[in-house]
Every structure is written in C-alpha cells, then in structure tokens.
C-alpha cells in the first residue's frame, strides 16, 4: 500500500504533534468553479478516519488508539474487517487495492504491541518478480528485496515516529522480511501480517500459516484480482478459502470497491479493469 491510502484529517493538538508524514491537515477546498466533482474530490483527504480526541465518536465501534489520535473505519466494510481481526486468531482480508487492508491491519498490530498484548510484530511479503528479474536490480540482496517490502515500511512510518521504529527494530520487536525467511520458524506471542498474499503459492501459504505459535495472531491480506504468479500456478489465497473457511477461529473478511479510500479515480479504474481481473481470477480457479 502507498502512503496515499492513509491521508488523514487531523485537528487541534493532534495535527501539530503528529510525526507521521502522511497524516496531515486537510487542504483548503477548491472553489466550486474549478474542475468537475471528481477533480474537486481529489483534493480532499483520502483517509478521514482519525478523530482528534480518544473520547470522540462511538467507542463501541471498532477503532484503534494511536499516539496521533483515534483511527476509525471509513466504511462499514472496514468496520467488519477490524472486528474480524479483533475476534479471530487468523483473519483473511481480501479486496481490491486501496481498501485499507494492510494499513488497518498494521495499525491494529501497532496498537496491540503498545498495549503489551504481543511481544513482536512481524510483517511479511512475498518477493514476487512482477515482470522484473531481481538479478537485474542493483545492489546486494537487501537492496534487491527492499522495493518489495517498501509498502510495509510506508505503513509503519505513517503510524510510528522514527525513534520508536528504530527502537523496535534494534530490540527485535519489529521485523519486516520476505516470506521465504519464515521457513523453519515458530512465532509465539506475535502479531504476524502477510501482505500481498495472492502472490503466494499453495505450499507457501501452508508454510506461512503453520509458523503460528502460542498466543499469536495472524492477518493475511491480498487482492485475488492482482495475481503476479506465473500463469498456471495456483494462488495460495484463492486455495485457502476452500480449505479453511469453515474452521472456527478463522475469518474471511471481504472488502469491496465501495471501501476504496484512495484517489476517487482509483475506484473508477478498478471498475474499468473489472473484466480483466475477473478473467484472471477465473483462470486461477480453473488451475486448481
């Protein structure tokens, strides 16, 4: 996810104290004569779910208490997703780009970590070569995989100040790593997030889920219409729905186009490419 997903409107002291670069005050509205409604909407903050005071709003609804304010879901779909994460040991968040799948999961993980509910936060992403070869990228191995992990770092930077992030990394409280590095590990008392899970194979998904130890929580996010695996390969995200959907303690939460909180044109773009996305998903189902 890019930082554009997490634009927020902050008021009062929260706006002055926030150290997260993507959380900022709303820009002044454009005059009505400038541009069409879509163009004017593009200048509104894409994410307007931060309340300025912890006591503001309905505390019974899902929310996340952060140093910068209270993060609340922008849509009913996001509220259901957050509730599923709170209520289940394993949650799959499936939906199109821009629906807040990764950002909300990371925000809930940061809150739980700060409250002492978990000892470690582990963010994982498959390093799938989306049309490019890792070998042609400059630098050492870390430099080659960093572009694939960048969206996770972006989400962290929007939620934690740099000093806290550095401290967590130094104390091994926070890890951001490629999926392949999970093999052979058992993670106890950890909040574990797998992002871009549509790009896992069936065996990789099984490997990841079985890393779960005592007192841990897993959130798996993905968009089953944006699969970068070689054609003919089965996506672990599609396969896992058939295998695990009836197991208690495991939830599947589906976000829709109406939950998109990026630039208003993103929703129209997703709709325009809907036939292509559905066609690819059908191919993945046939490959089973």
What three-state secondary structure class fits 169?
helix
Residue 214 belongs to a domain: yes
Domain of 262 in residue numbering reads as 74-286
Residue 191 belongs to a domain: yes
**Residues near 121 by beta carbon (within 8 Å), at least 6 away in sequence:** 109, 110, 113, 168, 173, 174, 175, 190, 191, 193
How do the pLDDT tens digits run along the chain, 288 residues long? 444 444 333 333 333 333 333 333 333 333 343 444 444 344 333 333 444 344 444 556 788 887 777 888 989 999 999 999 999 999 999 999 889 999 999 999 999 999 999 999 999 988 765 444 455 555 665 666 677 677 777 888 888 888 888 888 889 999 988 898 899 999 999 999 999 999 999 999 999 999 999 999 999 999 998 888 888 889 999 999 999 999 999 999 999 988 887 777 877 887 788 766 555 554 545 544
Residue 174 belongs to a domain: yes
Distance CA 222, CA 238 (A): 10
Residue 232 belongs to a domain: yes
Residue 85 belongs to a domain: yes
This prediction's pTM: 0.74
Question: Please, are residues 64 and 78 in contact by the beta-carbon 8 Å criterion?
Answer: no
Residue 9 belongs to a domain: no
Distance CA 93, CA 83 (A): 11
Residue 60 belongs to a domain: no
CATH number at residue 250: 3.40.50.300
């Amino acid at each position: 996810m890019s930082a554009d997903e997490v634009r927020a409107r902050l008021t009062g002291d929260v706006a002055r104290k926030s150290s997260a670069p993507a959380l900022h005050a709303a820009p002044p509205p454009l005059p009505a004569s400038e541009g069409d409604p879509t163009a004017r909407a593009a200048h509104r903050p894409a994410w307007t779910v931060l309340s300025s005071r912890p006591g503001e709003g309905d505390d019974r609804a899902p929310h996340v208490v952060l140093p910068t304010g209270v993060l609340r879901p922008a849509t009913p779909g996001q509220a259901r997703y957050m509730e599923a994460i709170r209520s289940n040991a394993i949650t799959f968040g499936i939906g199109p780009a821009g629906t807040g799948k990764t950002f909300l999961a990371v925000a809930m993980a940061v809150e739980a970590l700060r409250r002492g509910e978990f000892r470690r936060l582990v963010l994982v992403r498959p390093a799938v070569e989306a049309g490019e070869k890792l070998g042609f990228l400059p630098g050492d191995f870390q430099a080659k995989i960093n572009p694939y992990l960048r969206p996770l770092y972006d989400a962290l930077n929007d939620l934690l100040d740099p000093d806290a992030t550095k401290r967590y990394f130094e104390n091994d409280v926070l890890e951001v790593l490629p999926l392949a590095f999970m093999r052979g590990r058992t993670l106890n008392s950890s909040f574990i997030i797998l992002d871009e899970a549509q790009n896992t194979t069936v065996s990789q998904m099984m490997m990841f889920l079985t890393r779960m130890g005592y007192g841990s929580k897993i959130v798996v996010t993905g968009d089953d219409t944006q699969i970068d695996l070689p054609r003919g390969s089965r996506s672990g995200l599609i396969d896992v729905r058939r295998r695990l959907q009836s197991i208690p303690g495991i939830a599947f939460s589906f976000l829709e186009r109406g939950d998109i909180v990026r630039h208003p044109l993103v929703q129209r773009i997703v709709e325009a490419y809907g036939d292509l996305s559905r066609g690819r998903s059908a191919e993945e189902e046939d490959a089973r």
